[in-house]
């Protein structure tokens, strides 16, 4: 459904995906449903953080990971303070794969930012450097920081992500 309705902002499909995200028995299906909300709503990216904010606080780590990626996909290269606030919370999650998704999604959101357009960019770059250099950091967190660094600096900071 997510790929069939990319960019349409179809309310009926979003409601179905939200229902799947909270009721399906398979955690991977839940994560995919939440991520697909970002694909469907990317043309109305300002609505996505509000839509997935409750899902980002879910007890289920797969749903939280999907919420991070939904925000990353929908808000790519459009730094929103609300999106960055949710992603900052997810970067400090107890689950390593949620932290990884939070870092990658934050890099997607900040990929075309500079210190003048977003005050969070320098803070995020310092956090990435700290995670990469920390030998006690788990592998998933470190991999998320490395991928985030690559997204931020792609093509000499001249590349962007868009659908």
Stated pTM of the model? 0.93
Residue 1: inside a domain: no
Model pLDDT for residues 140-159, shown as the tens digit of each residue: 999 999 999 999 988 778 78
Whether residue 4 is contained in a domain is answered as no
The CATH number of residue 42's host domain is 1.25.10.10
Structure-block tokens of residue 156: 């000499």
Number of compact structural domains in the chain: 1
Residue 162 lies in a domain: no
Percent with pLDDT over 70 in the chain: 100
pLDDT, tens digit, 9 for 90 and up, residues 85-106: 999 999 999 999 999 999 999 9
What domain range is 103 assigned to?
11-157
Instruction: Determine, yes or no, domain membership for 138.
Output: yes
Distance CA 79, CA 19 (A): 28
Element (DSSP H or E) covering residue 148:
helix 139-152
């Amino acid at each position: 459904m997510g790929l069939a309705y990319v960019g349409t902002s179809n309310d009926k499909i979003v409601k179905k995906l939200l229902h799947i995200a909270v009721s399906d028995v398979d955690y991977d299906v839940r994560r995919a449903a939440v991520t697909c909300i970002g694909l469907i709503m990317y043309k109305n990216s300002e609505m996505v953080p509000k839509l997935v904010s409750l899902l980002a606080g879910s007890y289920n780590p797969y749903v939280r990971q999907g919420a991070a990626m939904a925000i990353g996909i929908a808000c790519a290269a459009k730094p929103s303070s609300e999106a960055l606030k949710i992603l900052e919370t997810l970067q400090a999650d107890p689950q390593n794969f949620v932290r990884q998704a939070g870092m990658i999604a934050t890099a997607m959101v900040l990929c075309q930012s500079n210190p003048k357009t977003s005050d969070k960019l320098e803070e995020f770059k310092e956090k990435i450097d700290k995670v990469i250099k920390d030998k006690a950091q788990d592998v998933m967190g470190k991999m998320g920081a490395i991928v985030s660094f690559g997204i931020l600096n792609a093509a000499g900071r001249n590349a962007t992500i868009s659908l």
